Amino acid sequence: MALRVIFMGTPEFSAATLQAVADAGHEIVAVYSQPPRPAGRRGLELTKSPVHLLGESLGVEVRTPTSLKGEDEQAAFAALNADVAVVVAYGLLLPKAILEGTRLGAFNGHASLLPRWRGAAPIQRAIIAGDAETGMMIMKMDVGLDTGPVALTERVAIGPDMTAGALHDALMGAGASLMVEALAQLEAGTLTLTPQDEDGATYAKKIDKAETRIDWSQAASDVHNRIRGLSPFPGAWCEMEFGGKAERVKLLGSTLADGNGAPGTVLDDALTIACGTGAVRLTELQRAGGKALVATDFLRGAKLAKGEVLS
């Protein structure tokens, strides 16, 4: 028999799991997502989240509360008489009454190898830290922050030049498949839960704007990891001078390169930039108001001479 599922998620990352759960034949009794947010150039249009739009296309009731702490919301949740809640990047704190508001509890798809990188930005933090691998984990939620027992794990390698965007997509597909497997085992009564080991627990705090400016005095490996860990969003950046005017440029791709020099110095015509130790070669950049371009195309419209210093 199919499970009665309440799905809770917001971004594209979550929508992949919602689609996979629906395709597996489970009954989606309601979808919870973040309320529509202002978007567009002027921020005047209220835009529904990817999960909200998918829920509507599946013909499922979509609920967008701003909080789940109230008794009325909790009663409405329990009244759905669901077997399980599936939670992927929802964005709201789930009180104990919600976690216990279904027959089998709430199961979360989390994009890290718990207990490493609990919290809001596990994909970006794993790359910025230089981790060689990460993964998706399905855990049963408790009242702590990503502290519940783990059911299933799938490891994913992080390539040397892999960006957060590419890792996001790899984990999105892995997470969708893993959640379907977890629900199948849950339905069959064969899903086992293993408590997390608190040793090695780290917190993946939200990315702060102050972290996005590149510090060329850092080691090349740290600069490279920051560039790819923040690509494509929010994007690491530095200032370059064009026509005597400093301009902020997003750095969306890089690779480690040979070279030494004063930090921030352009070492050649291929956008190799000296760091505190070593160098990186910039491979994808974006000027303000422009498109993201590979380095060769970027240099056609933005000349940077050897010896110039980026800040």
Domain ranges of the chain: 4-203, 209-301
Provide CB contacts within 8 A for 54, sequence distance 6+. Answer: 15, 18, 19, 31
Using 50, 70 and 90 to split pLDDT, how confident is the model at 303? confident
Sign of CA dihedral 259, 261, 263, 266: negative
Using 50, 70 and 90 to split pLDDT, how confident is the model at 242? confident
Where is average pLDDT lowest: 39-48, 86-95, 171-180? 39-48
The hierarchical CATH code for the domain 209-301 is 3.10.25.10
**Residues annotated in the binding site for (6S)-5,6,7,8-tetrahydrofolate, as ranges?**
112-115
3 state SS of 245: strand
Using 50, 70 and 90 to split pLDDT, how confident is the model at 266? very high
Q: What integer is the mean pLDDT of 193-203?
A: 94
What is the homologous superfamily of the domain 4-203 according to CATH? Formyl transferase, N-terminal domain (3.40.50.170)
Maximum Cα–Cα distance across the chain: 69
**Predicted confidence (pLDDT) at residue 20 exceeds the cutoff of 80:** yes
Q: What is the pTM of this model?
A: 0.94
Instruction: Report pLDDT digits (tens) over 226-239.
Output: 999 999 999 999 99
Higher pLDDT, 41 or 305: 305
Q: Of all helices (H) and strands (E), which one includes residue 96?
A: helix 96-99
**Residues annotated in the binding site, as ranges?**
112-115
